[in-house]
Structure 1
């Protein structure tokens, strides 16, 4: 779809600007350089894998990249205040928090024979995806890229067919209410943005035989008369026992569940239509972090060899840094240290710097002369003490904390009890940032009540602020879903206290997001047809917009936004610069830039020849490094154009649509059989293919190789058990060797004598630790119950069995024979044990293969953020796999609406 000249704002004025029009001479000249293939092929990533160091002539990144981002280590009292209060599992954390950035490319000598058309590039290509990564046999005859391209083409053809089927049914259903059009005014020929709105009456996607309203957003469906709700039954002993058994849930969760009737908001068409979000709202405000406790008098910062006493305000900032010396990624980062010391100096100037033991002022002027080790050692010892506390004492501390925070965990929203999400105010500390953030190391100031605005009902009682303080403001914003807000000092961003992920409001937000993606399937064919047409537009603005939409649709690039001078230099599609895009004939494009959260986006892709030609035009001299590729396009202009196709359509909806639609197509024809782990692997294989086709990639975690090695060791341990069991069979019946053959009883070659000895030692030590921990736990229980504790003599007696095991292994190694174990040993029993062990080995092999395949693909990103959770529920119900195998407790709460709203025949 083209727009008029008036609709195209002149966007960026800095740097070299593209011509307003693309002349036919320029087009023809480019065609000679890059012959067209005459058709558009779906884009597929050329490589999948870890980013290797590159030898480049011109740096392709956008600055300040100096190393891989390592995992963060909490340092204050073992865990940070925020971490200590978190109940989310690692699977639920945003993937960007667990990813790693990259090593800065090293410059090399220019290669005069380079094939690249504009920015010479000489790279060692990262490895391509293995066939196993997408569930294929490694000896498949079809090359990976060919298979993926064909599969993506098939998926897009299915999308086009579905969109036309939906519109045809809508047209048939609404024809009696509309005036018939002349043949020349066919819907297919009229640009969607210029059409008159038709009555919204959606049909199915053309797959199900019976006519269903599954494509209609639930918020707009006409719902059947509701059955009267059944009130909660009175509590019974059986019910109480059941509640007690739910160990995952807190007492407050259970209480809320039993107090409230289930409210199936996704079946209520009246919710979410207006702007007013609530009528009555009551809550108890926020929980502040504990006040700063000064260090013991003997623990001091050492400056130039002299221990100095600091004012509590400055000392607190010193502890922020001193407590995290083991976080080498941060304390070895020059930017982090520079920003920290700059802020630290501000506090020192305000408080008079330090004093020596005689009261003389010590001016702290150089970071290099500061020794924070005494502070770190004290915090480290405190962490160790806390870790060594008896389990009963840890439990008591947690119970006291939970009791103090209980009033803040829930609010009353329109008379319903709803769980609050982040009700704790973030404690002060040092800002880490993600990736290579320019403000890393800055001091996050303590948030005071005077900075906090509360949102609460007019009739509700306003929570009391801490003694001696007051709230900044009290609001009654019924259009807002926040309970409290304040502005942080690092980036000036506003922080909000919202409802928990499993609350009605949060669920409705996710629901609307995925329904918007479902709605896009009705228009996707026209959008693609229009942008393919505009790829050859004479107007530069239209051609740039079409190229950007192509990249966003085919390669899941984010749209990107403008950044301020002091913000991280991250970019998206619309803000790509000259150095971020390298063109390699005939039609390969290499993207290399810092994307969202300052995570490096590196990908080599194969694009349509017209797109390659367009990018070459957009990079045409005199443009050079620092100039914009899409200089006549902004994110807002792009989204405004997309909104003309469908209300609320933005660039980010494509990521959700493409992931969900791809997964839906893969699940439609899937036949998953076998054990639960094998079915889970089938799901992960489909998820992996979605992640590859939608470019949800990650750098291989540093711990991956170690994890695989541990899994292999466990498998080897089971194989060793199988061999020992076979030797026991020989001890019971030596004649069986002739019957089964000598090969059956041979030990695997890779489990040599050295491995066996190390494994035996590890087994003995593991059992020793288990018995010791069990003894300590039993003693703690006796202490709580007020009974007499066991003496060390009891532990020694228990450990005697381990000493016997060590002697047995020694004897086996010497004689080469294994004596039969267990009560009533028989060949039949040992064969049954071998079968069980082999089954465990196969299960672990499947899990290891799955883990290996996932190492370079961000399955969590796809599953949590982009694949409609209802598709996961469909798989779970269709193939009888517990939903717990896909969603953790936190995700089950977040997607409760999806779990309860669909059956196995639901379609995206």
Structure 2
């Protein structure tokens, strides 16, 4: 492992350290069977006394391992003896005795852990830690060294384990096409996927229907078929083609390139051989506002040219949002607006100088009216507009990659507007300029036709780079970042990239114990850079913190581990750290955790005076140094891989511990969401509580009360059938959260809803009859239906306050009891859903589900627990992770 260079030239050790054996040339060393962090000869000891230079004599053993002999001491030079600090807070001047990795202590739960390894971190967000898995390969976050009797080999690189489930290589490189005929299955079918894998013969043999296919048969309860219907049936049977035409969905399914069935994914530099696409779709050119819609300045109309009028319109369109009320947003917008006015001043010579004198209300009103008109369009007009838009975008949706049709991601150029940013971004409100073809770099295959832009202009640059996967890129003007157009999430290139990412995280399981033991030993290192590096790794590993890159002054003040400042960490004796900082996307991270005592001492040391507010806690290490250290253990390992690994392994453990046995699908889904929530808390995937959350919870509460209302009616009917049930504990207790006042309000609302529903149905039936040229339905039918509704609710009104209820139709005792049991189950399900939604109000499950959780964990869990994957993965996620859908129910991360 390469040396980690210190930023301070005065960080020099006080003693001569014996030369040590270097491993793999990566800068890490082996001493007395223990691996050491990479260090620098210029690192710091407490008193800063320089140490003599080390002499190293290297030779190579018969096995090819490079060894280093201990350097001889210079004659006449005596080793200086330095007393050790008793507090343990500061790096020691004399060599510290590292804790042997072989020293193992039993943990409280029976698992062997390394001596001196920190205990599991308890976060404020959760009070229960996941139980460790019995499988040593699936270690929880608190696990340390795997085997107490096994000596640690200095070799860190090893081949992929045999249990990594790469799909078997298909002998025929041509992907197998799916059958053209599908057997429709019940949505409640609990099969684990075996039926889905059934291969249907391509011959003309008939497919036999099984018990799951009863829904395809015509109902036998209907009236006998007339001679005419029988003849029509025979006609269609006779004319039925031998090979029925495939539906659009089946055609797309057959065209799917099943790359994961072609063997292990290669991570070579060449990504494609041929690439053909139509570039990027630019938004339409600006259309000036009507003459009567003007910006007002000090009450006077301003005649703006189109270029500056467009910018004023950007702000006017957002006038009634929170953005337009933000002072930073206003300041940045007005600054850029004045710059545009310099180039395109008002035609009536009005000079605009103050934001407060600008009146955008006329423009804002016009934009709101246009939005209302769009919402009020009839369905036919909306459909026509949608078709026109789809026709315009049709040629941009797909590209041709190596002869295959692949879907493109976001093929639209970003329209001009005002930058909103995330959180407290200092540039929010800044003007995003309109893109032109000259701003675009196009990546396309050699020898293919170059597309023509849909707006006037020529492409800025055309390249043919087959080592990258982007089709188009440009540089946006606000932050100077490069924006790319890639293939869609479900494309082969994206899928291979995702699979490689999660396989890399799974590979970390083989190395994580050694890495943790190594950085734990270095928490007491005599070198400041080693101690800071080890402490940063501890926080990245235990708290899933991002590494944290440096931010410029014009960027949002978001930080990660390496960029934490003095004010971001507060010490609470004896071993608690309080974190409070803005993470990625300006999401506030607030967490108080108990840490290893040595980590606590180190943070206290790193915050020692003269450090104060604004100073970096980890002033000797950077994300690049951390990643360089990690790559010494495993090729391609970085802090981000640690984050993916910890998220997925925690999720796997949480599912194993939280999933109830013999529970309903709803209860299992709630357990899944809770496991996902724990990962979201770990990764700080928070969100603001929806402003409609309270009202939505009230609606769900009313839905539960409505079911209880029906249950009460059935109970009263059961009492009428037999009075013995009045003393039965299952039915005797009354529904406590519904009273006569609520019942009156509920019945009145239900009456109005049913009348409204009947009216809409009558209107819709009349529209359909008119379109088909049939007679309209008389209004008397509607009046009669409304009368029936009123009659029923008038009867219910007389039952209020009484223990009496009449059912709409006569039911037996067994039927009433069965109906009550069903309502009990519905109440239980509704309560679980309501509690689940309330638990998830402050966390975002989507971020971890898309980026950090191996999708195969979810698919395997669904198959093993009889939960349809569609209940947990949206259609877009299923499209994004087709390679994960084939795993078995016993697959583990």
* Residue 630 of structure 2 is aligned to residue 632 of structure 1: no
3-state DSSP of counterpart to 1:725: helix
Q: CA deviation at 1:455?
A: 1.3
Correspondence 1:241-280 to 2 at 5 A? 254=249, 257=252, 260=255, 262-269=256-263, 271-280=265-274
Encode CA deviations 1:195-230: one digit per residue, 9 max, x unaligned: 6x56x2x43xxxxxxxxx2227x3xx8836348754
| Cα distance in 1 between the residues matched to 2:566 and 2:141 | 34
Q: Are residues 156 and 534 of structure 1, via their aligned partners in 2, closer, same or farther at CA, if it must alter by over 3 Å? A: farther
Aligned ranges 1:586-665 → 2 under 5 Å? 586-665=574-653
Q: Is the 8 A contact 1:294 1:312 kept in 2?
A: yes
Aligned pair 1:214/2:163, yes or no? yes
Match of residue 79 from structure 1: none
Q: Which residue of 1 aligns with 2:56?
A: none
How far apart in 2 are the matches of 1:308 and 1:780? 49
Within 2, Cα distance between the matches of 1:163 and 1:611? 16
Are 2:660 and 2:668, in contact at CA under 8 Å, matched by a contact in 1?
no
Is 1:381 paired with 2:369?
Answer: yes
Does the 8 Å CA contact 1:696/1:862 hold for their aligned counterparts? yes
- Report deviation, 1:697: 4.7
Number of the residue aligned with 1:672: 661
SS in 2 for 1:876: helix
Distance 1:648 1:870, change over 3 A: same
CA deviations 1:647-700 (Å, max 9, x no partner) are: 100001111111222233344575632221122123223333444556555554
What's the counterpart of residue 302 of structure 2?
308
Alignment of 1:534 with 2:540, yes or no, is no
Task: Give 2:288's aligned residue.
Answer: 294
1:282–1:460 CA contact under 8 A, matched in 2: yes
Instruction: Note if contact 1:681-1:850 (Cα within 8 Å) is conserved in structure 2.
Output: yes
Contact 1:148–1:693 (Cα < 8 Å) also in 2: no
Do the aligned partners of 1:45 and 1:603 also contact (CA within 8 Å) in 2? Answer: no
Q: In 1, are the aligned partners of 2:566 and 2:617 still within 8 Å (CA)?
A: yes
Mark the CA change 1:888 to 1:215 in structure 2 (over 3 Å): closer, same or farther. Answer: same
Q: Is the 8 A contact 1:281 1:411 kept in 2?
A: yes
Provide the secondary structure at the position in 2 that maps to 1:188: coil
* Deviations 1:555-595, CA, capped at 9 Å, x for gaps: 01110001122111111000111111111111111111111
User: 5 Å matches for 1:713-732?
Assistant: 713-729=702-718
Q: Where does the alignment leave 5 or more consecutive residues of structure 1 unmatched?
A: 49-128, 130-143, 169-185, 204-212, 246-250, 356-360
1:685 aligns with 2:674: yes
Instruction: Map 1:836-875; keep pairs closer than 5 Å.
Output: 836-875=822-861
Q: Does the aligned pair in 2 maintain the 1:155–1:665 contact within 8 Å?
A: no
> Is the alpha carbon distance of 1:827 and 1:294 closer, same or farther for their aligned partners in structure 2, counting shifts above 3 Å?
farther
What is residue 756 of structure 1 aligned with on the other side? 743
Contact 2:859 2:869 in 1 (8 A): yes
Question: 1:21–1:538: 8 Å Cα contact kept in structure 2?
Answer: yes
1:433-512 aligned within 5 A: 433-466=421-454, 468-512=456-500
Give, in whole Å, the separation in 2 of the partners of 1:157 and 1:27.
Answer: 39
Q: Residue 56 of structure 1 aligns with which residue?
A: none
Instruction: Measure the CA separation in 1 of the matches of 2:758 and 2:387.
Output: 28
Distance 1:230 1:553 in 2: 42
Mark the CA change 1:759 to 1:226 in structure 2 (over 3 Å): closer, same or farther: same
1:46 CA displacement: 3.7
Query: Deviation of residue 622 (structure 1)?
Result: 0.6
Answer yes or no: is 1:320 the counterpart of 2:314. Answer: yes
Aligned pairs for 1:199-210 (under 5 A) are 200=159, 202-203=160-161
* Native 8 Å contact 1:737 1:745 kept in 2: no
- Show CA shifts across 1:435-488 (max 9, x none): 100000111111112211211111221111235321112211111111111111
Matched, 1:347 2:335: no
Equivalent residue for 2:94? none
The CA deviation string for residues 513-551 of structure 1, in whole angstroms up to 9 with x for no partner, is 100100100000110011001100010111000000000
In the TM superposition, what are the counterparts of 1:735-774 in structure 2 within 5 Å?
736-741=722-727, 744=731, 747-774=734-761
Flag the 1:12–1:776 CA change in 2: closer, same or farther, 3 A. Answer: farther
Flag structure 2 segments of 5+ consecutive residues without an equivalent.
Answer: 12-41, 48-81, 91-98, 100-104, 106-114, 185-199, 201-212, 217-245
Among candidates 80, 86, 93, match of residue 28 of structure 1 = 86
Q: Which runs of structure 2 are paired with 1:97-246 in the superposition (5 Å)? A: 129=126, 144=127, 147-148=128-129, 158=139, 188=152, 190=154, 192=155, 200=159, 202-203=160-161, 213-215=162-164, 218=166, 223=169, 225-226=171-172, 229-231=175-177
CA contact (8 A) 2:566 2:607 kept: yes
Larger RCO: Structure 1 or Structure 2 (Cα < 8 Å, ≥ 6 residues apart)?
Answer: 1
Distance in 2, Cα, partners of 1:661 & 1:871: 9
TM superposition shift of 1:753:
2.3
Q: Secondary structure at the match of 2:524?
A: coil
Equivalences for residues 561-576 of structure 1 within 5 A: 561-576=549-564
Aligned with 1:44: secondary structure? coil
Alignment partner of 1:904 is 2:889: yes
- In structure 2, the CA distance between the partners of 1:495 and 1:346, relative to structure 1 (3 Å rule), is same
Which residue of structure 2 lines up, in the alignment, with residue 172 of structure 1? none
TM-score, normalised to structure 2, is 0.76
Residue 92 of structure 1 corresponds to none
Change (3 A) 1:720 1:270: closer
Higher alpha-carbon deviation: 303-312 or 743-752: 743-752
Alpha-carbon separation, structure 1, partners of 2:374 and 2:820: 44
Query: Is residue 562–residue 575 contact of structure 1 (8 Å, CA) maintained in 2?
Result: yes
| 8 Å CA contact 1:42, 1:153 repeated in 2 | no
Whether 1:880 and 2:861 are equivalent positions in the alignment is no
How many residues align structurally?
A: 747
Distance apart, 1:237 and its partner CA: 14
SS in 1 for 2:516: helix
Q: Is the 8 A contact 2:276 2:400 kept in 1?
A: yes
TM-score (norm 1): 0.75
The change in CA–CA distance for 1:436 and 1:693 in structure 2 (over 3 A counts) is closer
Structure 1 stretch displaced more, 406-415 or 264-273: 264-273
C-alpha distance in structure 1 between counterparts of 2:706 and 2:741, whole Å: 14
Range with bigger deviation, 547-556 or 675-684:
675-684
Shift of 1:719: 0.7
Cα distance in 2 for residues equivalent to 1:311 and 1:846: 58
Q: How far does residue 493 in structure 1 lie from its aligned partner after superposition? A: 1.1
SS at match of 1:521: helix
Question: Helix, strand or coil: the match of 2:86?
Answer: helix
How many Å separate the matches in 2 of 1:158 and 1:654?
13
How far apart, in 1, do the equivalents of 2:146 and 2:595 lie?
29
**Aligned-residue offset at 1:702:** 4.0
Deviations 1:256-297 (A, max 9, x none): 61562x432123347433211111111122222222232222
Structure 2 Cα separation of the partners of residues 40 and 683 of structure 1: 31
Whether the 8 Å CA contact 2:442–2:463 is kept in 1: the answer is: yes
Q: Name which of structure 1's ranges 647-656 and 450-459 shifts more when overlaid on structure 2.
A: 450-459
Q: 1:859 to 1:229 in 2, by over 3 A?
A: closer
Query: Whole-Å Cα distance in 2 between the matches of residues 26 and 855 of structure 1?
Result: 52
C-alpha distance in 2 between matches for 1:616 and 1:579 = 12
Conserved 8 A contact 2:540-2:639: yes
Q: Determine which of 427, 442, 448 is the counterpart of 2:415.
A: 427
Task: Note the C-alpha offset of 1:505.
Answer: 0.6
Contact 1:322 1:375 in 2 (8 A): yes
The 1:449–1:158 alpha-carbon spacing in structure 2 relative to 1, beyond 3 Å, is: closer
Cα separation, 1, equivalents of 2:803 and 2:309: 66
